[in-house]
A and B are shown apart, each in its own frame.
Chain A
């Protein structure tokens, strides 16, 4: 089969099986389990088929375009099934098979939980497969966010539990923020380099055409921030312990083995491309990884809940993997003559973590099922019954790998890491690297101590005091323990996975046969062979391991560091949430205070500000733009005097308004203002306007007086800020004055139409209102308008020929030239009439009993203030709108 189809089918097989499962009745439990297992199994088989028949390369040049989806948006089905990607894909789908079986045992035959669980899990599986196989930036981003969504849905599994809901939000916000920053980074890199896929980027790097610069560095930093959020790097690690609110199959799968490795994957994907180009690579990633590594292991030692312990060791291990890629930026001499990147068996190091962490979580859930997850309550678990005995053995085997004990893959992988540290020290000879050695030893020490404590507790001869209250791993329901084969699946998947650790540790050839072909950089140790324990030659790395084991055993037995220290970052998200909601709301409410007077003031300030900006704050130049001759001839004064006086009246009345408190006087002053405007119209020969204005003034004055009679007698309370208000109002008035002045006397561009010239539209209206000009025909004569053009618009010709047919140009404009406007204005009037009718009808109190009840409810709702964070109803003082509103909605019978 075409490799592209293999990849595409492998990615979508899980979600397809999940979707089919959603359509099946809830009672088909067996079928559902079989179907859900089928999805990841199909993915494994398809990927194996791909690897066997087509081989996987490690050059990174395999970016292949399956199909165009949105080429102009750079989002295409473009996969990158190289060794690294296929390794992750196999990891995801392989562990996925076991987790699907484990989930069946974990939830028991609870059909509702399984109905809900499998689709979410399978959606995640597809998303994760997509992340590790996508080549196009945007495709990666798509699947990346999909993993966040499915993780959110799974962490919030206990949807009735507010704590779990909060943890789900926390995880989504942190990883979602990472996703957004990642998007920004990828876009920045894309804009900078003009390539939109990893393979193309690698091609650029291979050709040496990838120029480092601030843009590329910033883009990388943003991408790394996204990866760090996903992979729970300090100080963004806090979401991962919170994510333990999810059911244990989810913790075992998403939050230890797969999803949290997406960040590591991304950094690993970029390592061959960017590490050599960007000097920031090691200096950022190594310290961050090292701090995460030590910090996570340290906090893990303090915890008593199994899942919390393992979550923090996961953080630690993720830090280690990041540091591994950071160190890989250095070069070292190696055994031979040429230098090579400081990276030893990267796949083995990544795989190692999954191979012990998934079993640890699986067993944590299993032990929680039969006993408890709290360490103090697990004393002597080994001696309780057969099941607990098996589980204890498996969990201790996995914890032995966590401690990187000899004869496991884990031991070898840790050796590799220590070699990398040592090589980096040799390459740079910086004393800072000494700190790194210390960090490595400390991490190892903490892990060993965790193993020792776990072993001491589980194998203890004491039994805890019986506690009848909730000792089960609660997952939303209580069910009887099942009979049959399924309960064994609580531990079998863990045992299967952890056995690989020991097989690989004892028989290196077997490990190499299984996973060696996925290794992209099998450097070091006997020309690329996975080493036996006794092949490890003495040197600083071995001494580091020995130190760690020795100190760890000591610490494990010592009564030190037991639950004394809590992770202060537990408060990070709640603080952010409070800051965003409370603080943000406070900022917002400075602007949105609830008072309409304030709003109007802001609008006026904006008007003044916009004007000032539009003239570039160059107020000094304004007088120079004064249009026309500034000098007034004295004989003109008599002609202008009435106009000047009336304008003075208008300004005076407007300025008086804010100073007058009495409502009646204000209405009268407003009337005076309006009538002065009427006078101005009359004075400047616009009698029709004057008539219109006068009727409007009379009507509105009467209306105002009517409203006045309904308002309370007392005047509004003391008015603040009178002078600033007057200044602001005057400024707005002056700006409008200035704009009108410059607009009405400045030169206008002329209009050419069909060979004629018009100063403005008005001139055309004047010339055409009655007869109309023979413009169209004239234009044909002039040759500016071709006959074909005339025929295309025959109506234009006839209309122009006839003109408007009226003697009053204003009328013709209203009903003919711009009759369409008039249609709209009539409509506006009609709507206004309907609106008023609605209000009047309400005022007269046509209310059904149901409506009255609704009114009361509404009043009760608005009446409750107090705890709400919403915009406050204005309190204190007396708002004018209060009175109006009161009057408007109170039925007249009450007044």
Chain B
């Protein structure tokens, strides 16, 4: 498939949005058309994932399209590498599941209005963020995503929702303001916004020392999007006011986009600079520990399903952050090759964790929605005995909840286990200890929902009325879809981990990415790229200790020029 067709990943959702807008008011047509578009979207994404993962030529692993045919770094580039392709595929699947769920479960009051175009525009924003190859373009993508989320937020217009939407919009606007400021500052420092080009500058060792505070500000920006400590405030107060379908969409996608961008920016773009990693890694690792632990403490203290789940997002973000931090840190105790291998594995673990979390967290939110359908509330003090009323829902919930808690061989286990192993390898004992303690409290919070919601004496609006029917077929179907994906991530973790490691290797060794975007001739020869793609099969075989940084310096000596 021609490379430049990757733009279809944006064309499809945008077309879907336009069509949905034209069909405004005809919901019976909007629904099948929207579903068809989302299926097509998933197929396109999956097709490109297949392309990049099976490319025999390493060059084929990074697909690039220059918008308007202006060459990088002058024009705008969109890029699909294995990392982006994996994220796109899973996120499009999650979107599809949520859409199917919303067809039957979403109240008319939300599903009316501009829900359909907004939904597709949110998908557009998310996918755009994944393919953006330019910092300012990424900002634009974020804005589309956030603006769509603001608009979806006010669809229902309940009191609680409006009150929290105010906080959500305000805090996110602050983040966006900082982001656009940082784009300007980065341009001022480096004279370019193209991610590959910045990567190249960093790898050449041409990063001015004065840019380190700016990069730290970028951590603030993306940290706010990802909801890390101490920037998570927009999330816990807001998500639980949303209907489950919308909450599931937000929970599954928004913070994960932030985590993805963190990997892209801090590991790929700036990970090659020892000065930057020396400054950022402690911040990220400390924040990871605090985020995961305080987040889970907040979650177990809550008494309603949606609140537990939404605060829990934060805790899980801590694990992703831990992976990012471990992926940046260069441990003194490890030799060059081993340190790089450990970084790569940690990033692979983080990627696996993000993908797992997208699916499972969304799935749990949707389960929470069906619990409300059945019990009329999601306050654990007011409901109970759902197991008897909805055994299928209970089974699916239990699988998803135990996946989230990371019990083997379910999906959450493998990401966690790679992260803990690399944490020990990199001698981050305290952080790893926190990770283990956090997963215990995660288990407690999930058991809380299970014990008080599905076991316990039956109570709640419809639970005690066995003949009262609620429409949950669409909901159960979409939850089942997500659970099946989560199970495949557990029992087939090996293949997912292979893709994650492929993705991690293109991020930790950005040579391929830079070459593909900037073109070989234009780019000064950097360090040698990883020996061969065969070495992704095992950490022992990856003999990439050929001094990435050392040779980079040599190549960079003659190109350090100033204005």
Contact = CB atoms under 8 A, between A and B. Distances in A.
Interface of A: 69-73, 75, 138, 141-142, 145, 148-149, 152, 156, 159-162, 165-166, 168-169, 172-173, 176-177, 179-181, 183-184, 187-188, 190-191, 577, 580-589, 591-592, 594, 596, 599-600, 602-603, 605-607, 610-611, 613-616, 625, 735-736, 738-740, 742-744, 746-754, 758-761, 764-765, 768, 779, 784-786, 789, 793, 795-796, 799-800, 816-821, 824-825, 827-828, 831-832, 834-835, 837-839, 841-842, 848, 850-851, 854-855, 858-859, 861-862, 867-871, 873, 881-882, 884-885, 888-889
Nearest to B524: A752
Contacts of B74: 753, 761, 764-765, 768, 817
13 contacts: A72-B498, A142-B409, A149-B402, A159-B385, A159-B454, A168-B455, A187-B420, A583-B297, A610-B220, A742-B213, A748-B562, A824-B144, A870-B307
Q: Is the interface of B mostly helix, strand, loop or mixed?
A: helix
Interface string B168-194: 001100100010010011111111110
Given A138-B408, A173-B444, A796-B66, A611 B217 contact: yes
B440 A592 contact: no
B76 A159 contact: no
B67 A819 contact: yes
Nearest to B409: A142
Contacts of B439: 180
Contact of A834 (B68, B151, B189, B301): B151
A149 B148 CA distance: 41
A581 B522 CA distance: 58
B563 A184 contact: no
B417 A611 contact: no
A584 B301 contact: yes
A110 to B, nearest CB: 16
A620 B433 CA distance: 37
B111 interface: no
Nearest to B451: A165
Contact of A838 (B154, B212, B433, B436): B154
A862 B237 CA distance: 13
A858 B158 contact: yes
A596 B118 contact: no
B301 A581 contact: yes
Contact of B159 (A162, A177, A848, A862): A862
B26 interface: no
Contacts of B294: 587-588, 591
B71 A753 contact: yes
Contacts of B204: 749
A603 B231 contact: yes
A190 B69 contact: no
Interface string B160-171: 101100110011
Interface in B200-226: 201, 204, 206-208, 210-217, 219-220, 224
Cβ-closest 10 pairs across A and B: A585-B301, A584-B297, A760-B191, A743-B188, A835-B151, A588-B298, A824-B140, A747-B562, A748-B191, A599-B233
Nearest to A616: B279
B418 A73 contact: yes
A317 B68 CA distance: 77
A749 to B, nearest CB: 4
A166 B448 CA distance: 9
Contacts of B409: 75, 142
B81 to A, nearest CB: 19
Given A739-B185, A748-B190, A821-B136, A611 B213 contact: yes
A594 B67 contact: no
Contacts of A611: 213, 216-217
A873 to B, nearest CB: 8
A615 B109 CA distance: 51
Contacts of B301: 580-582, 584-586, 588, 869
Contact of B230 (A148, A191, A591, A786): A591
Nearest to A160: B457
Given A828-B147, A834-B114, A614 B213 contact: yes
Interface in B383-406: 385, 387-388, 402, 405
B2 interface: no
A461 B237 CA distance: 68
Contacts of A854: 107, 109, 158
Contacts of B206: 749
Given A607-B220, A610-B220, A162 B283 contact: no
B201 A749 contact: yes
Q: Is the interface of A mostly helix, strand, loop or mixed?
A: helix
Contacts of A839: 154, 157
A750 B204 CA distance: 12
Given A600-B171, A605-B230, A585 B191 contact: no
B549 interface: no
Interface size of B as a range: 35 or more
A70 B417 CA distance: 13
B166 A884 contact: yes
Contacts, number: 389
Contacts of B231: 602-603, 606
Contacts of A179: 407
A751 B302 contact: no
Contact of A747 (B70, B425, B563): B563
A748 B424 contact: no
B416 to A, nearest CB: 9
A119 B297 CA distance: 34
B121 A827 contact: yes
B144 A827 contact: yes
A166 B452 CA distance: 9
B504 interface: no
A855 B69 contact: no
B140 A828 contact: yes
B143 A149 contact: no
B303 A160 contact: no
B297 A585 contact: yes
Given A584-B296, A739-B213, 12 more contacts: A176-B407, A585-B302, A596-B167, A599-B171, A751-B197, A752-B524, A760-B187, A817-B74, A825-B143, A848-B109, A881-B167, A888-B157
B159 A858 contact: yes
Contact of A851 (B68, B109, B296, B501): B109
Given A603-B171, A839-B154, A869 B136 contact: no
Contacts of B457: 160-162
A669 B524 CA distance: 53
B458 interface: yes
Contacts of A739: 185, 213-214, 217
Contacts of B66: 796
Contacts of A610: 216-217, 219-220, 283
A838 B155 contact: yes
Nearest to B303: A869
B113 A818 contact: no
B69 A596 contact: no
B432 interface: yes
A326 B501 CA distance: 43
B162 A888 contact: yes
A184 B522 contact: no
Contacts of B405: 176
B528 interface: no
A838 B113 contact: yes
Contacts of A793: 71, 519
